[in-house]
């Protein structure tokens, strides 16, 4: 990517922007390659979710991810450049497309800002094959027309456009100029009720719809029993089985209004929303990061084994102690840790987890947790790491192939983006992917809510059902206030 920083003063005028875009058009005409052009400018305080709400359209792609505890948030809407992929080489196809696009990208503006510059937002389905009835393809990557990012107390607004040999650069310049003027002095008072978190269409007041299990009655418990038999016979050591419930309301659910409640109630999680441009959104608040690359550093984690939160400090402490002393949960966590380290080592990554298992405490559940750090070797990039790590035993099982095959056989629904990698990547190869658990697919007045549990030797069908019920209830409570 070619970077052209600009200075304050004469270089920040509509005429200067028009001249810059005209130069980009000349470059595109000279070699026949359109240019992705990105303009980043620092802004005053911006809430990326509020901005996304203000421009939200069901028929436009969008992507949002935030971890409130870190004060980091990214939002983008409307596709400028993008593509969908399927098949076993979907990660390589996406990698090649992203690389080719960034090779023909020109960025300008406040490029020293955290999170400045264009980003590809990415969603990969749990499985790689295409389903004509699925809400999302097995892989989709896109650069949005508008990006808004927050990193601590710095805020950046980014306008992206595609400049071709015959582009109307005057229209592009005026649109970018107007957008940045709006972002610099964003008017929160003009937002709709959903953006302010008020009751409105999309947050049915007083509704408490009854969840309907997807699949036959007791299917999940029966599947757990079958999986335990497979484990005893040596078919695999662990498999993660999920439940899904459907709910229907009298009026449309607004995905971003529900997301606002999720980020408020689960600040230590990654809240996210992915819109497919056909009116459906996949939202959630996941505690699990798949992998992050910053410079030459890799960070990931093993997260498995869980228990509820206590009603008091004493009960909470007792539950933590029980979790740390649970042979079943420790073995489950060790399977995840060993698999991640082994797969990273297969890429030449010398990974090492913390010597002590910790506990990640969330508002309604607590998990065994081990952070993993490593240096990024030459020749390996973020999407290669995502490809190798997905699915970890925390959401799939081990051995991976046998467990994934059994998931298809036992679950009475398609996973789609559930438990799949969602994230972003920039021109330097930096980025972060999370795992789409604790999630729901929103489709007008309907929602499908997902939750899973890891099945290992020693699991009990009733306890695993209760664990998924706890996770489902947390999502349902937030969908309906």
Asked if 249 contacts 209 with a C-beta cutoff of 8 angstroms, the reply is yes
Range of the domain at 235: 212-479
Task: Considering only residues 102 and 264, tell me which one the structure prediction assigns the higher pLDDT.
Answer: 102
What tokens appear for 47 in the block? 């809430």
The answer on 227 and 326 residing in a single domain is yes
238 included as an active-site residue: yes
Our CA angle for 353, 452, 48, nearest 5°, is: 75
The answer on 444 and 309 residing in a single domain is yes
Pure H helices in 59-168: 90-103
Q: How far, in Å, CA of 270 to CA of 71, rounded?
A: 11
pLDDT bracket for residue 7 (50, 70, 90): low
Cα dihedral 74, 111, 24, 180, rounded to 10, equals 60
Task: Give pLDDT, residue 354.
Answer: 78
Task: Give pLDDT, residue 202.
Answer: 44
The answer on 217 and 102 residing in a single domain is no
Let me know if residue 205 belongs to a domain.
no
User: What domain count does the chain have?
Assistant: 2
Mean pLDDT of 106-118: 92
Task: Considering only residues 171 and 45, tell me which one the structure prediction assigns the higher pLDDT.
Answer: 171
The answer on 112 and 238 residing in a single domain is no
- How many residues does this entry show for the chain? 481
CATH number of the domain enclosing 254: 3.60.120.10
The answer on 34 and 86 residing in a single domain is yes
The answer on 404 and 308 residing in a single domain is yes
Strands (E), 343-445: 352-353, 358-361, 365-375, 397-398, 421-426, 431-435, 439-443
Mean pLDDT of 2-14: 72
Let me know if residue 89 belongs to a domain.
yes
* pLDDT tens per residue across span 290-325: 999 999 999 999 988 888 888 899 998 999 999 999
The answer on 227 and 146 residing in a single domain is no
Catalytic residue among 66, 79, 238, 411: 238
Asked if 109 contacts 39 with a C-beta cutoff of 8 angstroms, the reply is yes
Q: How far, in Å, CA of 258 to CA of 208, rounded?
A: 15
How large is the C-alpha radius of gyration of the chain? 23
CB-based contacts of 204, cutoff 8 Å, min separation 6: 249, 250, 251, 253, 480
CB-based contacts of 446, cutoff 8 Å, min separation 6: 246, 247, 248, 249, 253
Evaluate if residue 458 carries a pLDDT over 80: yes
**How many CB atoms lie under 10 A from the CB of residue 229?**
10
Let me know if residue 366 belongs to a domain.
yes
Give me the percent of the chain exceeding a pLDDT of 70. Answer: 95
pLDDT bracket for residue 472 (50, 70, 90): very high
* pLDDT tens per residue across span 194-251: 444 443 344 444 567 889 999 998 999 999 999 999 999 999 999 999 999 999 998 8
Q: How far, in Å, CA of 424 to CA of 272, rounded?
A: 12
The answer on 222 and 165 residing in a single domain is no
The answer on 13 and 143 residing in a single domain is yes
Asked if 296 contacts 430 with a C-beta cutoff of 8 angstroms, the reply is no
Task: Please report how many Cα atoms fall inside a 13 Å half-sphere around the Cα of residue 196, on the Cβ side.
Answer: 10
- Comparing 134-143, 192-201, 286-295, the range with the smallest average pLDDT is 192-201
CB-based contacts of 392, cutoff 8 Å, min separation 6: 290, 302, 336, 339, 340, 435
Let me know if residue 204 belongs to a domain.
no
* pLDDT tens per residue across span 23-65: 999 999 999 999 999 999 998 888 999 999 888 888 999 999 9
Let me know if residue 207 belongs to a domain.
no
Let me know if residue 106 belongs to a domain.
yes
Let me know if residue 116 belongs to a domain.
yes
78 included as an active-site residue: no
The answer on 231 and 149 residing in a single domain is no
The answer on 227 and 155 residing in a single domain is no
pLDDT bracket for residue 190 (50, 70, 90): low
Cα separations (Å) of 358 from 141, 305, 353, 367, 435?
34, 11, 11, 8, 20
Asked if 472 contacts 440 with a C-beta cutoff of 8 angstroms, the reply is no
The answer on 174 and 280 residing in a single domain is no
Asked if 398 contacts 385 with a C-beta cutoff of 8 angstroms, the reply is no
Catalytic residue among 53, 79, 288, 432: 288
Asked if 94 contacts 27 with a C-beta cutoff of 8 angstroms, the reply is no
Asked if 403 contacts 240 with a C-beta cutoff of 8 angstroms, the reply is yes
Asked if 466 contacts 273 with a C-beta cutoff of 8 angstroms, the reply is no
Let me know if residue 258 belongs to a domain.
yes
Strands (E), 323-420: 352-353, 358-361, 365-375, 397-398
């Amino acid at each position: 990517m070619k970077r052209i920083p600009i200075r304050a003063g004469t270089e920040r005028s509509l005429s200067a922007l028009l001249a810059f875009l005209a130069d980009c058009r000349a470059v595109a005409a000279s070699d026949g390659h359109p240019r992705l052009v990105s303009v980043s400018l620092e802004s005053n305080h911006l809430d990326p979710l509020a901005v996304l709400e203000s421009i939200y359209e069901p028929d436009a792609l969008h992507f949002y991810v935030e971890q409130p505890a870190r004060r980091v948030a990214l939002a983008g809407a409307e596709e400028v450049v993008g593509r969908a992929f399927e098949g076993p080489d979907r990660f390589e196809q996406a990698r090649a497309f992203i690389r080719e696009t960034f090779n023909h990208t020109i960025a300008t503006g406040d490029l020293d800002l955290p999170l400045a510059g264009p980003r590809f937002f990415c969603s990969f389905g749990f499985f790689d094959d295409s389903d004509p009835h699925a809400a999302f393809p097995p892989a989709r990557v896109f650069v949005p027309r508008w990006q808004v990012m927050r990193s601590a107390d710095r805020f950046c607004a980014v306008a992206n456009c595609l400049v071709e040999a015959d582009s109307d650069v005057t229209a592009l310049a005026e649109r970018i100029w107007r957008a940045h003027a709006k972002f610099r002095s964003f008017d929160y008072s003009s937002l709709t009720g959903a953006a302010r978190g008020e009751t409105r269409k999309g947050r049915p007041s007083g509704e408490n719809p009854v969840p309907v299990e997807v699949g036959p009655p007791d299917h999940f418990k029966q599947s757990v029993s079958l999986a335990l038999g497979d484990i005893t016979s040596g078919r695999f050591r662990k498999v993660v089985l999920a439940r899904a419930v459907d709910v229907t309301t009298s009026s449309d659910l607004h995905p971003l209004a529900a997301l606002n409640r999720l980020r408020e109630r689960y600040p230590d999680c990654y809240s996210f929303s992915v819109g497919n441009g056909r009116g459906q959104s996949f939202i959630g608040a996941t505690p699990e990061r798949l992998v992050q690359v910053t410079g030459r550093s890799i960070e990931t984690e093993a997260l498995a084994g869980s228990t509820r939160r206590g009603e008091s400090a004493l009960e909470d402490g007792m539950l933590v102690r029980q979790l740390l002393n649970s042979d079943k949960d420790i073995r489950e966590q060790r399977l995840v840790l060993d698999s991640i380290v082994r797969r990273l080592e297969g890429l030449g990554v010398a990974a090492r987890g913390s010597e002590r298992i910790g506990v990640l405490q969330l508002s309604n559940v607590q998990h065994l947790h081990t952070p993993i750090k490593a240096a990024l070797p030459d020749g390996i990039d973020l999407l290669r790491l995502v490809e190798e790590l997905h699915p970890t035993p925390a959401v799939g099982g081990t051995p991976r192939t046998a467990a994934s095959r059994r998931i298809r056989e036992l679950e009475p629904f398609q996973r789609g983006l559930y438990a799949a990698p969602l994230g972003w990547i920039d021109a330097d190869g930096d980025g972060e992917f999370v795992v789409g658990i604790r999630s729901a697919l929103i489709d007008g007045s309907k929602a499908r809510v997902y939750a899973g549990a890891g099945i290992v030797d020693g699991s009990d069908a009733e306890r695993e059902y209760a664990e998924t019920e706890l996770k489902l209830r947390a999502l349902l409570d937030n969908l309906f206030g």
